[in-house]
Amino acid sequence: MHGRAVGDVLVAGHICVDLVPEFPGAARVEPGALFNVGALGIRVGGSIANTGSALAGLGVPVRAHGLVGDDALGAIARDQLSAIDGVQADLVTTRDHATSYSIVVQPRGEDRSFWHHTGANDAFDGTTLDPTGARLVHLGYPPLLPGIAADGGAPLAATLAASKEAGATTSLDLAVVDEASRAGGYDWNSILTEVLPHTDVLTPSLDDLISALRIAPRTGLADELAEDLLARGAGIVAISVGEEGLLLRAAGAERLARGGPVLRALGAEWAGARVRVDPVPVDRLGTTNGAGDAATAGLLAGLLRGAPPAAAVKLATWAAADWIESSSCSGVRIAARASGLTPWARG
């Protein structure tokens, strides 16, 4: 074990360095050709950086735990993560792997795509994570953590179970599964069956689930999947459905009572809750990279503060919108303070 939790929330799992070239026009790939691009943005990214900084922007201090390589990108990840107000970097350096990175291809006004190297995340199997003292443990992107999702998800299930045994509420976020990757060969249907009884909060996108379960999109699929995921043992499921917004479903009172200190503290209105909200319109499109993590942070912040279901989901959508406009969630907190409202009451 490495270090001990110093705050209420521990975010762990996937971390990388995002390399983001600025595109003055369309992104093109053509052998032998030269295309002019703008300046290169270099920033720490991945689940623990995005969710952690978004939580911190919402006034929830976190400890961020993951693995990086002994290289220049690892130093950048450590320095940038440590510089985020409200985030304590707890990174383990491995000399056997390079630091993970993503080349983010996002032409102006368009959604992004990624060229991704999992790097040191290959070695993350949960054994370096110490949940002692944490009220909530959030683990992000197991499809990009092939070590923790190996063996039918046994290491992931063990990590979540150990966090619950230590007294924490558990939270899990997924990622799109690349069929060509190591994790793409895993049986994610079986993995979810293995880990969901230990998962109190699950926050995937619909695209994550479609790729993991290898199913075709169809009308009403988010509702069907939410029902199925609750039946497999999850406590709360929140599925991001892109332009259709966010769907939240909650299990019954008995399952929520087994959901650690965060879910146990929720009001009776959470039992069996179903809420669906539209996305919040944005004034400018900065980046969609990390918006899903921001939505997760908004929901978790609402849960940590005991917000009712509709208000927690509203905070999730506001956090995603703020992130898209400015790559942070400071706007939610600033607006809330200026209006004298708690963050989940905005709008």
Residue spans of the domains in the chain: they are 9-24+39-340
SS3 assignment, position 40? strand
The letter for the amino acid at 318 is: W
Statement: residue 205 has pLDDT above 50? yes
Total-model pTM: 0.89
| pLDDT tens readout for residues 252-265 | 999 999 999 999 99
pLDDT for 329:
63
Q: Over the chain, what is the mean pLDDT? A: 89
Could you tell me what percent of the chain has a pLDDT over 70? 90
Residue 123 CA neighbour count, 13 Å, CB half:
17
Which residue is listed with tokens 């990590």?
A: 159
CA-nearest of 309, 315, 243 to 281 is 243
pLDDT tens for 162-201 read 999 999 999 999 999 999 888 899 999 999 999 999 999 9
Q: Which of 3-17, 82-96, 145-159, 262-276 has the lowest mean pLDDT?
A: 3-17
- Count of positions (residues) in the chain: 347
> Is 9-24+39-340 a CATH 3.40.1190.20 domain?
yes
The order of strands in the sheet holding 246-250 is: 87-94, 62-69, 9-13, 136-140, 169-173, 201-202, 236-240, 246-250, 274-277
Q: What SS3 class is residue 256?
A: helix
Q: In Å, what is the CA distance from 308 to each residue of 157, 180, 266?
A: 29, 41, 8
